[in-house]
Structure 1
Amino acid sequence: MFSGSIVAIVTPMTDSGQLDLEALRQLVDWHVEEGTSGIVVMGTTGESGTVTEKEYFAAIDAVVKQAAGRIQVIAGSGAMSTNKTITLTNQAKELGVDGALVVTPYYCKPSQQGLYEHFKAVASHCELPIILYNVPGRTAVDLLPETVAKLTELENIVGIKEATGDVSRVTELNRLIETPISILSGDDATAYDFMKLGGHGVISVTANVAPGLMSKMCQLAQAENWKQAALINDKLSGLNDKLFLEANPIPVKWALYRMNKIGCGIRLPLTELDSRFHSQVVTALEQANVELS
């Protein structure tokens, strides 16, 4: 249901830190033009943890309306509590999104049984197609393939964003899962290898700054044209590395600012990219032939 290059879109902000919805709308149009398959709004890269609930829904609404059916829109709607996750997912549905990206509950470190019951409750109380989101580096809990396989028996669990960076997870998931789902990489640096082993695409940070290249790489991989896909992946390799010199989305927001796509605003506790990393990010952008202002 979801495949190809799906951008985990940033949330543009003014210098004073206010949401810049007009810049967000322009980014949506750019991604449509560049061939991006889908947009995740209000995910980790979108600074969902730093915005108010009013801002959260305003950003989703702006993306859905600007997309106007031209591109799939997925809302990040995971929270630490099951009840809040259900509420956010259902409210996102009312705004017209095509699916929900639901991260594992963070900080509270539930067991595998707790994770299963959490996602089962969300799936049973929400009608949206749900993409599970496993990112143990941020949440301190790992949604194991055996648990994912059980969850895919539920009708509206349609995919997983696997952000461990462990490409062997693709093989394990495909071995265990009986009902086909979208298996998506959440790690740009290993996305090519992930797809080569049977993944269906990537929810990408790098696509924020090089949407055309990332889309083309995914299209070639889907066509099993691995040689040409590898050439593009090589061009993206610098970005896949340097956009994580500091915590995401710090470097990617600075890169977009340097490209004159957004303002320099970012919300505390995140701060602007340290100046000692600027030249490395610029070099990576130039390697990918990204036009700078």
Structure 2
Amino acid sequence: MVTMFLMHDHPGWEITADNPAPVRAVDSRNGSAALLNASARPEVFRLPAGACAALPPPLAAALRDLGPVARFRTPSLWDAIATAIIRQVIRAGQARLQHQRLRTAHGPAVATERGPVHALPSPQTILEMTDDDFAALGMTFKARPLRNAAAAYLDHSPKWAELPPGRLVEELQTVPRIGPWTAGAATADFTHDWSLYPYGDLAVRTWAATAAPDHPWPADEHGFAAHWRALTGEHVGVLTLFTLALGAHHAGAPAPSPPPRS
């Protein structure tokens, strides 16, 4: 029997000791929320033959040992953008906490047996929130980029929905306070094109080095990204996703958030 690792890296997943089965509410595009759980169908990723050939052997073995990796694509572009903004600068645990606070305080809910599960607030709700609302959540620093993104999403989402992933990354960067990291992370989350994920970030560097500590990984982001691209070639997307999955698998939680950037 082939085992499969199901990623719950998105900070919208709710997992508690009393209710260990992860559930997540997502925007249903009409101001309400829909439930995403194990009964839905995630996308399943497998390593192509020869994909790991150029990787350091310990990392290659660790990625192969994962077996197939399953992940739910975020069905709402707004959710993907807002989540990437929340993840800017801060560590994964803090991002998860802020995400949960924002959802619970201002997002639409789905009733479940375990109680209400909240999705992120809509762009309209974000624009209606006051400075005091953001301060009460400990998210003053996130107010401006979230408002910028909400206004841009309301203006441009029909156009964005028609763009191929690479162009979407470019268009998102026209929004103030959305830079290459945020645009790439949001687009990968929304489209599952992981070749667009900012693979030089701390998460990929951390788990690659954890699996293959004796390999001479470049310490800086740009040097690592160039080296990673050379090692992974045409398989950069799936190998990046598997490396993130490796971190989530061993940590029992999402991999580290990126260093300060937008």
> What range describes the TM-score normalised by the shorter chain of this pair?
0.3 to 0.5
Q: Which structure is higher in RCO with an 8 Å CA cutoff and minimum separation 6?
A: 2
What TM-score, normalized to structure 1? Answer: 0.31
What TM-score, normalized to structure 2? Answer: 0.33
